[in-house]
Structure formats: C-alpha cells, structure tokens
Amino acid sequence: MDRTLFQEEHNIFRDAVRKFLEKEVVPFHEQWEKDGICPRELYQKAGEMGFLCPWLPEEYGGSGVDFLYSTIINEECVYARNSGFMMGLHSDVVVPYIFSFGNEEQKKKWLPGCASGELISAVAMTEPGAGSDLASIKTTAVKDGDDYIINGQKTFISNGILCDVCVVAVKTDTKADPPHTGVSLIVVEAGTPGFEKGRNLEKIGMHAQDTAELFFEDCRVPKANLLGDEGMGFIYLMQKLQQERLVCSIAAQAGAEQVLKDAMKYTKERVLFGKPLSKFQNTRFKLAEMATEVEIGRAFVDRLIVEHIAGKNVLTETCMAKWWTTEMLKRACDEALQLHGGYGYMMEYNIAKDFLNARVQTIYAGTTEVMKEIIGRQMGL
C-alpha cells in the first residue's frame, strides 16, 4: 500500500531511526534477551538523538513534532525486532500522563529527564487481583501531613526494573461510591524508602524487556507528587487509553507486515519436492490471506493515526483496531511458522521469536475480550 501520511522530513527521520536501531540495538538484542533487560544507557543515546518524547514542546526537552514521528519510531522498532527497548511505552504511554495532568512544577522536574533518557518511566496499574478492572485495585495512598503513605503491590510492570519515575494508580478513597472515583495517580521515584522493585519476571516472550513486581510498604511520597486531582485517576487513565491502544495497533500492524515479508522470502527460497514452497497452491493461498489482512489492517490503522492527530474521539475505533490487529498478528505468526516447518520451531529463526512475542499483544493494554466489551457498550448493547 502506498502510504500518504508522511512527508519528506518524516522519511528522513525514519532513515535516522532505522540506522540508530541497526547500530545500537540489533547487534546486541540477543544478549539482552539472555540478560532479561536492556542497558539503561540506551535510553540516553536515544535521547541524544531526539528519539524520546519527540512530541514534547521544546521547553521540556522535546522537538514539538506531531504523532507521526512517534508512529515512525514504533514501526521501526518492530521492523528491527526490538522487543526490549521500550521507547513507545516510555514516550507515548507513560510520559503523556505527566505532560497532560502534571502541574508546571512537575513538568519541569520530570519531563526534561524523560526526553533526554536520564529518567526512564513506567506506569503501574495491574495488581495480582486487578487487571483490566482498575476500579478494584487495592493499593492505597493515605494522607499523612504533607505526604501520602502508599501500601500495596503491583505486577507485570514493564520497565519495572529500570524505571526512575513510576506513575502509580492508587486508592486515595477506599469507600468511594462508585469505586472508580477513589482512584488517583501518584508519581513515585526510584529510591523512595518503602518502594521496592521485585524480581524480573520470566515470560514466554519479550525476553529483552524487564517486567517486574513492585512493592510499596509504608512508602512516604510528597503530596506534590499527586498528578492532577484526587479521585480523577481513573478518568485520566481512560483519557490516555486511546493513544495507548493505537500504539499497540501500530506495533501489531508493523509486526504482521514483517512476518509476511519474511514468510514470502522463506517460501521462495525453500525447495520442496523439486520446486519452491511458494509454488504450491496451499502456500500461495495462505500468503494471499495474510497479505489481504495486512492490507486491511494498514488502511484502518493509518486512518486512525490521522484522526487521532486531528484530535478526534476514536476510542471505540482504537479498541477495534487493538483487538483486531493483535489477533491478526497472532494468526500471521502461526501461519508463517507452519510454512517454515520444523525450522519455524527453532529459535535461530525470527519467526519463532515473533510467535512468542506476539502472544502477549492480545493481553496487555486491555485484552481482546475487554476491547470487545468496551465496543459493545459504546454500541449501546
């Protein structure tokens, strides 16, 4: 598909991002997968190049550019098979909370470091007993003079080991009715007494990306770290989910494109019964189906990118895109792995990692089932 979103300056930027990833990420990614984490210095290198939070105004360390630049970064990370260096999470999911809901003092304190890579961010919502149902979180923040005392536990937190600043969803009013009106967002800085990072969780995929448990035990945080107003945390989270789910859709779409490209290359080269695998009808049919779904996904995702940049409310549509593109990626990986035969089951082939890394995408940022539930409610069902 001939994409009309980008101008020449975007193409130049894409080339720079691609070269950066080829130099700083691709050669080392396999080692990071073994380590279960990427080096924090990588964030500073990206910050020096202007690849972190490029949408931030210049006064906070950004370049003041549009979301297309974030789109390019997220796509190129996928094309490079970077599953550990979470630029999209940092720049386009977490930092926007601070920018949109923080006061001027908070913005000046944290945003420049986020743009430079000196500060790595995370958002802590999920708990052992609360995932998509954020209103049921148990972590509490109780006022004590000029501070909040936080107690509770979070889990499955991406960037949990590396993070310097963490936007934490807490209950500031445990008796609020309805319950979601008691949720607030508080920024907790690494090194704060009572804030402990647990183990780096072992996952079936995304091995280069640190995912941790976080513990808060009588963790004293200044009231000045509250983002926005008390009791508005749930609303703030809902307001930012449109972009988060769009980022997920962009990544899933790019992943499916890469899987299709590699599957076509492999089936043209693999010889079976004296002819290329691509010359068998079943192979052509499978690849034709994948290509059709990839084209459909690209048209939908690019439309949502344009409408999101224009400031339109496309929350329902991004829920549609999130579940459909991630499920489509799952199907593409499964079909491509099958076309690789036994080699597809070997970790030395990219499709094996693609298959494992794709599985979580229908789960994080809202499961497929939750996406459909939201869509159904928006339809008045």
298 contact partners, CB below 8 Å, separation of at least 6:
1, 3, 253, 257
Angle (deg, nearest 10), helices 281-309 and 315-340: 160
Using alpha carbons, select from 20, 199, 185 the residue that is nearest to residue 106: 185
- Please check whether residue 141 is in contact with residue 128, taking contact to mean a CB–CB distance below 8 angstroms: no
Cβ-based neighbour number of residue 359 at 10 Å? 16
Look up 244 and say whether it is catalytic.
yes
- Please check whether residue 299 is in contact with residue 244, taking contact to mean a CB–CB distance below 8 angstroms: no
Which residue is listed with tokens 């409408």? 307
Q: Report d(CA 136, CA 178) in Å as an integer.
A: 11
What are the structure tokens assigned to 356, written together?
A: 């494992």
Q: Report d(CA 14, CA 9) in Å as an integer.
A: 9
Strand spans (E) along 207-267? 211-222, 226-227
Q: Residue 370 class from Cβ within 10 Å (0-12 exposed, 13-18 middle, 19+ buried)?
A: middle
Residues 173-209 as b/e (b if ≥16 CB within 10 A, e otherwise) read beeeeebbbbbbbbbbbeebeebebeebeeeebbbbb
Q: Report d(CA 122, CA 128) in Å as an integer.
A: 17
Catalytic residue among 24, 75, 230, 244: 244
* Distance separating the N- and C-terminal Cα atoms of the chain: 35
What are the residue numbers of the active site?
A: 244
